[in-house]
Each structure stands twice: as C-alpha cells, then as structure tokens.
Amino acid sequence: MIHFKNVTKIYDNITALRNISFSIEKGEYVFVTGPSGAGKSTLLKLIYLAEKPDEGIISIAGYSTDTLKDRAIPYLRRNIGVVFQDFKLLENKNVYDNIAIALRIRGVGEREIRERVHEALKLVNLRHKADSLPSALSGGEQQRVTIARAIVGEPTVLLADEPTGNLDADNAAGIMKIFREINARGTTILFATHNRDLYKNTGCRVIKLDSGNIVYDDLE
C-alpha cells in the first residue's frame, strides 16, 4: 500500500529524513512517533505529496514518485484523507457544507453527497450539528468535523498529524475511538504524535523517528 525505499528529504540544509525505508500494508494502523523535529510531519507530507523526496522512491496505492506526473497528484490524493492539529474549516459554511465540499469538487451528485455526509457525521457523533457554523462548535467538535471531511471520500489511507494536540484528555479519547472505528472498516491509518499515551497498550505498530532516522519499527 505504502512503500518508502531509501528516501531522503532535505530542506535547504536540514536533512529532515535520512535514507529511510519501510512498507505499510493495507489496513494497518501505524503510529509515527519521535521528538519534535524528528521528521514525523515531513513523512506524512511526502505521502500526501505536499513535498517531494530528494532521493529514493515512494509508492502509494499504485503510484510511484519516480514516474508520477504533477497532473496525477489530485487523483492520487483522492485515495488519501488528512487530519491535522490546526484544523481549517470554512468559517462561513456550516458543518454539512464543510464536509460536502470534498465530494462536490469531484462532481458527486447531491443525493449521494447527502447520504455520505450523514454517514460521516454519524461516525463522529455530530448529526445534530449539521447546520451549525464552525464558530458555534467546541474544539473537539470542530476536530471531529475535520475527521468527517477526511473520510467522506472513502480514502484508502488516512493521515493524521497530532490531531488531538489541542484537545483535552476526554476529547482526545473520543477522537482515538473514532480512529479505531475507521481502521476497523479497513482504512489504513498513519498517525503522527509525540504523545506516547495515545499509542501505549494499543498493540499497534510504532515507527519511531529521531533526527530523520528510523530508530524503532515494531509492535507496541
């Protein structure tokens, strides 16, 4: 599903990832951890093709960075949902439209959109907030909207970068439960966090980075 082969990423003169290789199979739930600056966000950005590798090859869902044309990037991204810490919702659109937009830009019909948005809202327990504006929601609720937005297109891979970073422990636990459910439906998840509490005792695979190197890759 995702393969990194001898991947190096350099920003100016900082080597963010150094010759790293690993593979993730379909349906895995993998935590990417390590201290600040270790390269976690860079690793996710490479998968999302927000950044390109300087050396090595990344292949994702049948696409490979050595042959990929820029115009194919939007198609690849349809396979990938993203949730970040600093969730960005459109402030002038309600919850329903914030989620529907991901499908509208792909030309999905409004009837199917309605079904899929309601299904996504059900998963994150926010059906009753469909008509609310983001400003009327708590931080935890807003983050749940971004999760619904990320999964409404039924991506094969979900990338999460410190998605609970701004939330209290109860809200974080709720979000972790939702991620479990999404993974149980077959979606491959890569979850970047420096917070061990989020993955200890989960039995998930943990890839630990330090200064751009993989220093650990095993089951928790």
Question: Is position 42 an interface residue for Mg ion (rule: CB under 5 A)?
Answer: no
Work out how close the CB of 148 gets to Mg ion at its nearest, in angstroms, rounded to a whole number.
Answer: 23
| Stretch of 21-29, 32-40, 50-58, 171-179 lying at the interface with Mg ion (CB under 5 A) | 32-40
Work out which of 33, 41, 65, 146 binds Mg ion, going by CB under 5 A.
41
Nearer to Mg ion, 41 or 98 (CB): 41
Tell me the three-class secondary structure of the chain, residue by residue.
CEEEEEEEEEECCEEEEEEEEEEECCCCEEEEECCCCCCHHHHHHHHCCCCCCCEEEEEECCEECCCCCHHHHHHHHCCEEEEECCCCCCCCCCHHHHHHHHHHCCCCCHHHHHHHHHHHHHHCCCHHHCCCCHHHCCHHHHHHHHHHHHHCCCCCEEEEECCCCCCCHHHHHHHHHHHHHHHHCCCEEEEECCCHHHCCCCCCEEEEEECCEEEEEEEC
Site for ligand ATP, rule CB under 6 A:
11-12, 14, 16, 34, 36-42, 194
Q: Which is nearer to ligand ATP, 2 or 117 (CB)?
A: 2
CB of 163 to ligand ATP, least distance (A): 12
Closer of 38 and 175 to ligand ATP (Cβ)? 38
98 interacts with Mg ion by CB under 5 A: no
Q: Does 142 bind Mg ion (CB under 5 A)?
A: no
**Nearest distance from C-beta of residue 9 to ligand ATP, angstroms:** 8
Q: Site map for Mg ion, 59-78, x if CB under 5 A?
A: --------------------
